[in-house]
Amino acid sequence: DAKTTQPNSMESNEEEPVHLPCNHSTISGTDYIHWYRQLPSQGPEYVIHGLTSNVNNRMASLAIAEDRKSSTLILHRATLRDAAVYYCILRALSGNTGKLIFGQGTTLQVKP
Protein backbone atom coordinates (compact mmCIF):
# COMPACT_ATOMS: atom_id res chain seq x y z
CA ASP A 1 0.00 0.00 0.00
CA ALA A 2 1.18 3.50 -0.86
CA LYS A 3 2.42 5.71 1.95
CA THR A 4 0.59 8.73 3.33
CA THR A 5 1.94 11.70 5.24
CA GLN A 6 -0.07 13.67 7.78
CA PRO A 7 0.78 16.34 10.36
CA ASN A 8 1.22 14.87 13.83
CA SER A 9 -1.27 17.22 15.46
CA MET A 10 -3.69 20.06 14.83
CA GLU A 11 -5.84 22.32 16.95
CA SER A 12 -9.22 23.77 16.28
CA ASN A 13 -11.81 25.84 18.06
CA GLU A 14 -15.25 24.44 18.63
CA GLU A 15 -17.80 25.21 15.91
CA GLU A 16 -15.11 26.25 13.44
CA PRO A 17 -14.19 24.31 10.27
CA VAL A 18 -11.18 22.01 10.34
CA HIS A 19 -9.07 21.02 7.35
CA LEU A 20 -6.95 17.92 7.87
CA PRO A 21 -4.38 17.45 5.09
CA CYS A 22 -2.90 14.23 3.75
CA ASN A 23 -0.14 13.80 1.19
CA HIS A 24 0.04 10.63 -0.90
CA SER A 25 2.38 11.45 -3.76
CA THR A 26 2.90 7.79 -4.75
CA ILE A 27 -0.79 6.98 -5.06
CA SER A 28 -1.69 4.68 -7.93
CA GLY A 29 -4.62 5.08 -10.25
CA THR A 30 -6.75 2.45 -8.52
CA ASP A 31 -6.05 3.47 -4.92
CA TYR A 32 -9.01 4.72 -2.93
CA ILE A 33 -8.44 7.36 -0.25
CA HIS A 34 -10.04 6.37 3.05
CA TRP A 35 -10.29 8.28 6.31
CA TYR A 36 -10.86 6.68 9.68
CA ARG A 37 -10.76 8.22 13.10
CA GLN A 38 -10.22 6.87 16.58
CA LEU A 39 -11.80 8.58 19.54
CA PRO A 40 -10.10 8.12 22.91
CA SER A 41 -10.45 4.60 24.29
CA GLN A 42 -12.56 3.46 21.34
CA GLY A 43 -12.09 1.44 18.19
CA PRO A 44 -11.53 3.24 14.91
CA GLU A 45 -14.53 4.31 12.88
CA TYR A 46 -14.93 4.94 9.20
CA VAL A 47 -15.34 8.57 8.18
CA ILE A 48 -15.32 8.84 4.40
CA HIS A 49 -13.62 7.64 1.25
CA GLY A 50 -13.17 8.73 -2.34
CA LEU A 51 -11.36 8.01 -5.58
CA THR A 52 -11.21 11.14 -7.75
CA SER A 53 -14.19 13.37 -7.08
CA ASN A 54 -14.88 15.29 -3.92
CA VAL A 55 -17.24 13.48 -1.55
CA ASN A 56 -19.66 14.57 1.12
CA ASN A 57 -21.44 12.62 3.82
CA ARG A 58 -23.08 13.40 7.13
CA MET A 59 -19.78 13.35 8.98
CA ALA A 60 -17.40 15.21 6.72
CA SER A 61 -16.28 16.20 3.24
CA LEU A 62 -13.29 14.91 1.32
CA ALA A 63 -11.53 17.17 -1.13
CA ILE A 64 -9.18 15.40 -3.52
CA ALA A 65 -6.55 17.27 -5.50
CA GLU A 66 -6.79 17.05 -9.26
CA ASP A 67 -3.52 15.08 -9.47
CA ARG A 68 -4.68 12.93 -6.53
CA LYS A 69 -1.37 13.40 -4.74
CA SER A 70 -3.05 15.01 -1.78
CA SER A 71 -6.42 15.21 -0.11
CA THR A 72 -8.10 17.13 2.69
CA LEU A 73 -10.66 15.95 5.18
CA ILE A 74 -13.02 18.76 6.10
CA LEU A 75 -15.05 18.88 9.28
CA HIS A 76 -17.44 21.74 8.71
CA ARG A 77 -18.12 22.58 12.36
CA ALA A 78 -15.85 20.90 14.84
CA THR A 79 -17.36 19.75 18.10
CA LEU A 80 -15.62 18.51 21.22
CA ARG A 81 -16.65 15.03 20.20
CA ASP A 82 -14.51 15.33 17.06
CA ALA A 83 -11.32 15.28 19.13
CA ALA A 84 -9.65 12.13 17.87
CA VAL A 85 -6.78 10.70 15.86
CA TYR A 86 -7.55 10.92 12.15
CA TYR A 87 -6.00 8.42 9.76
CA CYS A 88 -5.64 8.84 6.01
CA ILE A 89 -5.27 5.41 4.37
CA LEU A 90 -4.87 4.30 0.76
CA ARG A 91 -6.59 1.10 -0.29
CA ALA A 92 -6.13 -0.64 -3.61
CA LEU A 93 -9.29 -1.50 -5.49
CA SER A 94 -8.23 -5.08 -5.91
CA GLY A 95 -5.29 -7.42 -5.50
CA ASN A 96 -5.07 -6.87 -1.79
CA THR A 97 -6.46 -8.54 1.29
CA GLY A 98 -8.33 -5.47 2.46
CA LYS A 99 -6.18 -4.84 5.51
CA LEU A 100 -5.87 -1.26 6.69
CA ILE A 101 -2.36 0.12 7.07
CA PHE A 102 -2.52 2.78 9.76
CA GLY A 103 0.13 5.47 9.99
CA GLN A 104 0.58 7.79 12.95
CA GLY A 105 -2.39 9.92 11.94
CA THR A 106 -3.21 13.47 13.00
CA THR A 107 -4.28 14.08 16.57
CA LEU A 108 -6.98 16.72 16.50
CA GLN A 109 -7.60 18.80 19.60
CA VAL A 110 -10.80 20.83 19.76
CA LYS A 111 -10.87 23.72 22.17
CA PRO A 112 -14.14 25.01 23.61
Binding site for other proteins (CB under 8 A): 30-32, 34, 38, 42-46, 49, 87, 91-94, 96-105
Cβ at position 13, least distance to other proteins in Å? 27
Cβ at position 60, least distance to other proteins in Å? 14
Nearest CB to other proteins, comparing residues 14 and 55: 55
Burial of 58 (0-12, 13-18, 19+ CB in 10 A): exposed
- The CA distance from 4 to 27, in Å, is 9
Cβ at position 88, least distance to other proteins in Å? 13
- The CA distance from 38 to 55, in Å, is 21
Nearest CB to other proteins, comparing residues 1 and 14: 1
CB 98 within 8 A of CB 1: no
Nearest CB to other proteins, comparing residues 13 and 104: 104
Say which amino acid occupies 74. I
